[in-house]
Amino acid sequence: MKLALPLKKRQSIFNLFKFLNRHHASKAEEETDTTAYLMKSPANRARLLKAMNDIEAGNNIFPRDLADL
């Protein structure tokens, strides 16, 4: 089904999608940069890898109720 929208509205929607796509891409890059930065330090790297292994193994997981936060 096609929507009949005026050209200005279609352009506005298209520009919004372009903005959101760029914003999402920059957030992903920022997260990757943060992880890379934290992994540079041997101490941080060891803590991060241990935490990742703990999560995968189900160790040291403490469930919280959102209402308690």
**What is the full DSSP assignment across 9-30?**
HHHHHHHHHHHHHHHHHHHHHH
Cα 44 to Cα 20, 54, 58, distances in angstroms: 32, 15, 21
- How confident is the model at residue 24, as a pLDDT? 64
Q: Mean pLDDT over residues 26-39, rounded?
A: 73
Does position 40 have pLDDT exceeding 80, yes or no? yes
pLDDT band for position 59 (cuts 50, 70, 90): confident
Q: For residue 30, which amino acid is it?
A: E
pLDDT per residue over 8-24, tens digit each?
A: 777 777 777 787 777 66
Q: For residue 62, which amino acid is it?
A: F
Q: Mean pLDDT over residues 37-55, rounded?
A: 88
- How confident is the model at residue 42, as a pLDDT? 92
